[in-house]
Amino acid sequence: MPIVMVDPHQVHAPVAFVNQALLDLTGYSQEEVSGRNWHLLHMPGSGRDDLNAVDVALHAGEPFETEFLGRRKNGSAFRCSLALSPVHDEAGHLRWVALALTEIGPAHRSDREDTDQSRHLEEQVERRTRDLQAALDRKTSLLHEVEHRIKNTLQMTASLVLLKARRLRDPEARRVLQETAERVSALSAAHRLLSAAGDGGRFNLKEFTAELAGELVTTLPKGQVDLDLDIQPLGVPAPKATALALLMNELIGNAVKHAFPNGRRGRLTIEIGRTENGLKIAVADNGVGLDHAPPAEGSFGKTLITMLVQQLKGQLTWRDQKPGTRAEIVMPVDAQEMKFE
Ligand SMILES: Nc1ncnc2c1ncn2[C@@H]1O[C@H](COP(=O)(O)OP(=O)(O)OP(=O)(O)O)[C@@H](O)[C@H]1O
Ligand SMILES: [Mg+2]
């Protein structure tokens, strides 16, 4: 084993003696190395940190192990491991430190080794990617399953309320229950869309609004109200889905229910789009206007709208368009959070 004996008591730890194996490895002669700093066996520019750590251990007379890039007399490099062993005299005082070098390979790997290595790494990356994709697929399908069950439960709740409504003779009580069933149905529809969403779990507000408005308008006689949709396709994060779904339900529901009494013809316009720092939703009709009739007793929709807008940290304005009503909501939206496709 190539060995260098150095004197730890001198600042530069000069070489005192090297064995034949070290001369064979490096191509030096005994005279060329004796008295010189052992650093001449280190390839310059290949990292000094280890060198410093070796020197610290060397002067302290402590054992130490590391790897470094060695340098032969002809300038060629070799990779080696280095082990430091302190040598003590009979009185137990540190006398020498032996540096044992073991060559562990050429400085550069062969192309073939490199190719093998990179193929191995590629395989590992592929395997990890497959595992991660499988985990993501499992998570996505679980989420879909959960949303699907929520949707079914809500749909069942709506059906139960409707069944009860049909058995009531009091028309007012029946109406109240029917409207409750409609609200629950709107939530169920939101969860149906979430259960079909991609792995981002985003709620497709355009699809939801188009579907809901279409359904609500069909409760009016055909041709009475034209529907005008101007909606940018966008996916909102699942946690906002239920609030937005209910909000759209109340706004569109009000226009359909109150703006066009007695067969009044008109137009319902829904706009959803991006503003400078968020999202803008407008539901406008050219109907009779908000103050046409006093609010029905126990009416709750507008309060619910206000609460939902607060929850979404937005701002709500009602405008009398003469004719008709326009409700406008602007809410701040993180561009990362809400994706406009
Ligand atoms: N687009 C609209 N056009 C005309 N009047 C409206 C419009 N939206 C709301 N209103 C009036 O405002 C009132 C209050 O609306 P709100 O949604 O709070 O209650 P509601 O729709 O009567 O009952 P609920 O929403 O609780 O089922 C309505 O009763 C109606 O008179
Ligand atoms: Mg209402």
What would the pLDDT profile of 34-49 be if each residue is shown by its tens digit? 999 999 999 887 776 7
DSSP class of residue 257?
I
pLDDT, tens digit (0-9, with 9 covering 90-100), for 228-250: 999 998 888 878 888 999 999 99
- Closest Cα to atom 25, ligand 1: which residue? 301
Ligand 1 atom with least separation from CA of 303: 18
List the residue whose alpha carbon is closest to atom 9 of ligand 1.
Answer: 254
Q: 302 in ligand 1 pocket by Cβ < 6 Å? A: yes
Q: How close is the Cα of 296 to the center of ligand 2, in Å?
A: 9
Distance 259 CA to ligand 1 centre (A): 9
Work out whether strand 339-340 and strand 234-237 pair parallel, antiparallel, or are unpaired. antiparallel
Q: 236 phi and psi, to 5 degrees?
A: -105, 150
300 lines ligand 1 (CB under 6 A): yes
Residue 226 CA to ligand 2 centre (angstroms): 20
The strand pair at 315-320 and 278-285 is best described as unpaired
The rounded radius of gyration (Å) of the Cα atoms in the chain is: 40
Sites in the chain below the pLDDT cut of 50: none
Calculate how far, in angstroms, residue 270's C-alpha sits from the geometric centre of ligand 2: 17
CATH architecture of 202-341: 2-Layer Sandwich (3.30)
Nearest residue to 194 via CA among 145, 243, 139: 145
Of the candidates 177, 10, 29, which has an alpha carbon nearest to the alpha carbon of residue 18? 29
What is the structure's pLDDT at 200?
61
The pLDDT of residue 141: 82
3-108, what's its fold? Beta-Lactamase (3.30.450)
Q: Where are the domains of the chain?
A: 3-108, 110-200, 202-341
Residue 110 has a pLDDT of 58
